Chains A and B, each alone.
Chain A
Amino acid sequence: MSDVREHADDIHEQFSDHIDVSVDEIEDRLTTLVDEYKVPIDEARRSVTNHYLEEADLERDELAGGSSEDVQIEDVDEPEQWIDLTAKVIELWDPRSDAVAQVGLLGDPTGTIKFTKWAKSDLPALEEGSVYELRNVVTDEYQGQYSVKLNSTTVIEEREEDLEVGNDTSEIEGALVDMQSGSGLIKRCPKEDCTRVLQNGRCNEHGEVEGEFDLRIKAVVDDGIDAHEVIFDKEATEELTGLSLEEAKEMAMDALDTTIVADEIHEDIVGTYYRIEGPTFGRYVLADDVEELDGRIDAEELLIKARSM
């Protein structure tokens, strides 16, 4: 079977429930684009699919996935793939929009991934802590971070067995080369479930509020191969700097300025080597375990290698 024919078959399968169209007709459309207009097959398929979507008055989400694949979360590395997952609902978050029925975090032994379930898909509710087989979900990507979307063709089946969840832990050894703005003594919105960092006393969501002090560091730890963004929460910051939230507040009060805290911390940590362990969350590593690397380091092995090259 030719390549074009295979794609035509796939598309036909996706639309067979919705409109009356023959495989031959789909193949003709693809052939015209590929042979006459020299359009790459992927683009041709996309164009033909969009044509039938319009004809059937459907959203892309509502299509049956022609060939979804059983995958593990760590393997998700491409957007717009139809996949099957078996995963546990680790956390449900509050949807920010009425269009979203549920949003949260799924996990399997290989890692975690965000999921979104649209309101219009009209699917059963997922419960925190339960394990589900999810067939026909679509992958998505935003700023290098992958997620899956449940849609009206998704089949949800609850599974009896529990699933152990791996947490994508990273270990980085490198020099802390930069501390980013928004580090040090910050103020957060005190409204329930809102922990946004205030900008000039204002919360993006709740406007002017009386903020609550917190300590955190956003830093870059670099091993000469990759630059990793690392977030230290209050506990990690206190451990790293030996500076408590109370002491930081006093310092700021004495100086009548909160930036003095960030300046002190900057001086203390930039240019120092650390080993950092913690879960990855998108492009960030959350520092759970931090160790300053100041022990002696053995050069002998490297010297033997250098001499033998």
Chain B
Amino acid sequence: MSQAELTREVARRVFASEFNDSTYSFKESDDERAPNYALLPTGDRANRVFVVGTLTETEDVGEDSEYWRGRVVDPTGTFFVYAGQYQPEAAATLRDAEPPAYVSVVGKPRTYETEDGTVNVSVRPESIAVVDEGTRDRWVVETAERTLERIEAFQEWEAQQEAPESGSTAPTNEYAEMARDRYDSPVENYRRDVIQALEQLEDVDDAEATA
């Protein structure tokens, strides 16, 4: 077994607005067991994500067997989490949950094409846990930081593409290149989402300070 197969896939931190735009998925090899990745528009690949937000609604949308859908909201949008018979623990957590509640979700990105050709991105959970507000706030800050890091790398790469003669030493960025080819939403959008998410935290702080 090669080293790569032994390595556990990292759980990316990504806000809902960017996650839901990650409609292109790919594999790195032809092996049928090769891991599946969602392409993040800020230029990275995600085989797994860790998200924390407010569970606002759960619904059993299954026909023959239980299939639970949960809406998990962060400052930028909504993650759709689907758990059925193959994710029994996560399905049980959604069944028993009493929204609204803060939850953390570890899971895999999945895409689904609707009849009108729209691609929906959802999370297939490995685990769901009820958490506190502190954990949610920490996740927002952490996700903002990781997202800014991706945007920075993307912009450095972009600058080098536009001015190759400048001799910049920005590293190659395979996934930034892939993102530019596949998507048309500029990374600037996600920078704005980061600012909005952080401002929301700061506002709450200020409100608490004056209260």
Hey, which bits of chain A sit against chain B, CB under 8 A? 143-144, 175, 177-178, 220, 222-227, 229, 266-267, 270-273, 293-300, 302-303, 305-307, 309
Contacts and interface: CB of A to CB of B under 8 A. Distances in A.
Contact of B12 (A224, A297, A303): A224
Nearest to B130: A271
A175 B135 CA distance: 9
A305 B141 CA distance: 12
Contact of A303 (B6, B137, B195): B195
24 contacts: A143-B6, A144-B6, A175-B139, A177-B106, A222-B11, A223-B142, A270-B106, A271-B52, A271-B127, A271-B128, A271-B129, A271-B131, A272-B104, A273-B138, A294-B134, A297-B137, A299-B198, A302-B144, A302-B198, A303-B198, A303-B199, A307-B195, A309-B148, A309-B151
Contact of A177 (B7, B11, B134): B11
Contacts of B11: 175, 177, 222, 224, 227
Give the 6 A-B CB pairs with smallest separation, nearest first: A271-B104, A271-B129, A224-B13, A303-B198, A227-B8, A294-B134
A306 B6 contact: no
Contacts of A298: 141
A273 B135 CA distance: 7
B202 A306 contact: no
Contacts of B10: 222, 224-227
A227 B9 contact: yes
A167 B103 CA distance: 37
A302 B194 CA distance: 9
Contact of A224 (B50, B104, B131, B135): B50
Interface of B: 3, 6-13, 48, 50, 52, 103-106, 126-129, 131-132, 134-135, 137-146, 148, 151-152, 155, 191, 194-195, 198-199, 201-202, 205
Contact of A294 (B106, B126, B132, B199): B132
B25 to A, nearest CB: 20
A90 B163 CA distance: 54
B148 A302 contact: yes
B135 A296 contact: no
A298 B52 CA distance: 18
Contacts, number: 101
Given A309-B152, A309-B155, A295 B198 contact: no
A306 B148 contact: yes
Nearest to B106: A177
A302 B145 contact: yes
A294 B198 contact: no
A305 B151 CA distance: 12
Contacts of B52: 271
Given A222-B10, A306-B198, A299 B141 contact: yes
B148 A305 contact: yes
A305 B144 CA distance: 11
B171 to A, nearest CB: 15
B131 A299 contact: no
A297 B140 CA distance: 10
Contact of A143 (B3, B145, B201): B3
A279 B4 CA distance: 24
Nearest to A226: B10
B156 to A, nearest CB: 11
Nearest to B126: A178
A177 B10 CA distance: 10
Of B6, B8, B135, the most chain A CB neighbours within 10 A belong to B8
Contacts of B199: 303
Given A227-B8, A302-B141, A306-B191, 8 more contacts: A143-B3, A177-B50, A222-B50, A224-B143, A229-B8, A294-B135, A299-B140, A302-B148
